[in-house]
């Protein structure tokens, strides 16, 4: 299992800082009513960015939940662009180009976990070398789909990295009310697969375990469950008020372990990072973001998009509905004889 090089760690930090910076911008835009409800990334950056850097964007897949996009720069600039399009409520926001091995965000919790098993299994059937990493939260880990998927992957020896982002909360439900398990990694033994628990605020540690899991998967060793322990530093979503339930002292303690501070300190000590670096990265992140957001807001929408891609071809009824829809978009669209 390989440790990340200093260059890699710096690249990971760059992505983390950019993500945190852009998340702040996005939050403000939401408050201005320019984007819809969204889930902040704050506190999760190290796990996401380090995982992305431990994978090969040309061969490996990432199936996200919904908190990950801003720190997936390694998989291509389109991830940010489409994420912003998604946030302005445009259907095309869920479309990524063929070259980008990232699935659309998943809102129906844990349903992406069996998808990961099928995708990984399918790739082995096609003799493709890739590994599938699927993100899901501590709350999502209680869903039956996670169980069915991990068990199936164990039997099929599917090349999957089950990445459980344990941020201690499912909206207002704390981990101890989510499960009595000492560690979510303890689920692995019940499926006959390896389970690793890692400090998700330590980018280097995350890189190592994901690299180890990926190596095992690629060599036919099957799936691994990785629990990344982090703390949700922000609200669940822009619609949530965490002050109703998050103990301030816990939040304070967590802030002291802010993954970005940790990695900055480490790289500063090595002389690889400083205030200017941060400033530059933040500035570039915002320029990138603002350009992409402008394009996202300007992206045209057609009422017909409502029916596009539902089927490869409209059914008789859909064709009529589409005609009515376009004829009277927004004003009247009921079925006409």
Partner 1 sequence: MTSASELTMLQAVNEALHGEMARDERVVVLGEDVARNGGVFRATEGLFEKFGEQRVVDTPLAEAGIIGSTVGLAMAGLVPVAEVQFLGFSYQAMHQIAGQVARLRYRSRGRFEPAITIRAPFGGGVRTPELHSDSLEGQLANIAGLKLVAPATAADAKGLLATSVRDPDPVIFLEPLRGYRGIRGEVPDGEHLVPLGEAREARTGDEVVIIAWSHQVELACRASDALAAEGLSVAVLDLRSLVPLDLAGIAAAVDRCGRAVVVEEAVQTGGFAGEVVATIVEECFWSLEAPIVRVSGYDAPYPVGQLEDTYVPDEARIAAAVRRVLEVA
Ligand X SMILES: Cc1ncc(C[n+]2csc(CCOP(=O)(O)OP(=O)(O)O)c2C)c(N)n1
Between 22 and 30, whose beta carbon lies closer to partner 1?
30
239 binds a copy of itself (CB under 8 A): no
Q: Is 287 exposed, middle or buried (0-12, 13-18, 19+ CB in 10 A)?
A: exposed
Tell which positions 58-117 bind partner 1, by CB under 8 A.
Answer: 66, 86, 88-96, 98, 103-104, 107-109, 111, 113-117
Cβ atoms of 177 and 149 closer than 8 Å: no
Tell which positions 286-305 bind partner 1, by CB under 8 A.
Answer: 301, 303, 305
Q: How far is CA 59 from the centre of its chain?
A: 18
Least Cβ distance, residue 17 to partner 1 (angstroms):
27
For Cα atoms 298, 304, 307, give the angle at the middle one, nearest 5 degrees: 120
Least Cβ distance, residue 63 to partner 1 (angstroms):
8
Least Cβ distance, residue 45 to Mg ion (angstroms):
15
Question: What is the spatial distance between Cα 110 and Cα 63, in angstroms, rounded to a whole number?
Answer: 11
Cβ atoms of 220 and 9 closer than 8 Å: no
125 binds a copy of itself (CB under 8 A): no
Between 143 and 277, whose beta carbon lies closer to ligand X?
143
106 binds Mg ion (CB under 5 A): no
What DSSP assignment string belongs to 264-294? HHHHHHTTS--HHHHHHHHHHHHHHHHHHHH
166 binds a copy of itself (CB under 8 A): no
Which residue among the candidates 214, 232, 262, 322 is catalytic per the annotation? 232
307 binds partner 1 (CB under 8 A): yes
Active site residue 245: yes
- Helices H / strands E in the chain, number of each: 11, 7
Question: What is the spatial distance between Cα 86 and Cα 92, in angstroms, rounded to a whole number?
Answer: 7
Least Cβ distance, residue 10 to partner 1 (angstroms):
33
**Spatial CB neighbours of 64, under 8 Å, sequence gap ≥ 6:** 72, 102, 103, 105, 106, 112, 135
Q: Which does 198 bind (CB under 5 to 8 A by kind): partner 1, a copy of itself, ligand X, none?
A: none
Between 247 and 271, whose beta carbon lies closer to partner 1?
247
| Residues assigned a catalytic role | 232, 236, 245
């Amino acid at each position: 299992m390989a440790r990340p090089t200093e260059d890699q760690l710096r690249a990971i930090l760059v992505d983390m800082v950019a993500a945190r910076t852009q998340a702040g911008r996005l939050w403000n835009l939401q408050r201005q009513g320019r984007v819809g409800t969204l889930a902040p990334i704050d506190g999760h950056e190290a796990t996401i960015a380090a995982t992305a850097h431990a994978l090969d964007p040309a061969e490996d897949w990432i199936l996200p939940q919904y908190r990950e996009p801003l720190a997936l720069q390694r998989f291509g600039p389109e991830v940010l662009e489409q994420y912003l399009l998604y946030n302005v409520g445009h259907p095309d926001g869920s479309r990524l180009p063929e070259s980008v091995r990232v699935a659309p965000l998943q809102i129906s919790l844990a349903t992406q976990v069996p998808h990961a098993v099928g995708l990984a299994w399918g790739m082995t059937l096609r003799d493709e070398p890739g590994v599938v990493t699927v993100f899901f939260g501590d709350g999502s880990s209680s869903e039956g789909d996670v169980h069915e998927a991990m068990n199936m992957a164990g039997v099929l020896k599917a090349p999957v990295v089950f990445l459980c982002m344990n941020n201690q909360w499912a909206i207002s439900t704390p981990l101890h009310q989510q499960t009595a398990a000492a560690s979510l990694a303890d689920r692995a033994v019940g499926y006959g697969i390896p389970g690793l628990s890692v400090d998700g605020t330590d980018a280097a540690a995350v890189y190592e375990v994901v690299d180890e899991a990926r190596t095992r998967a690629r060599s036919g060793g099957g799936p691994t469950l990785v629990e990344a322990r982090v703390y949700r530093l922000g609200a669940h979503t822009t619609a949530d008020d965490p002050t109703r339930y998050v103990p301030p002292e816990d939040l304070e303690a967590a802030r002291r372990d802010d993954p970005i501070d940790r990695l900055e300190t480490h790289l500063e000590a090595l002389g690889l990072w400083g205030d200017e670096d941060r400033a530059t990265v933040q500035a570039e992140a915002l320029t990138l973001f603002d350009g992409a957001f402008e394009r996202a807001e300007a992206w045209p929408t057609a009422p017909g998009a409502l029916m596009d891609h539902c089927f490869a071809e409209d059914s008789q009824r859909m064709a009529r509905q589409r005609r009515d829809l376009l004829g009277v978009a927004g004003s009247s669209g009921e079925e006409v004889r």
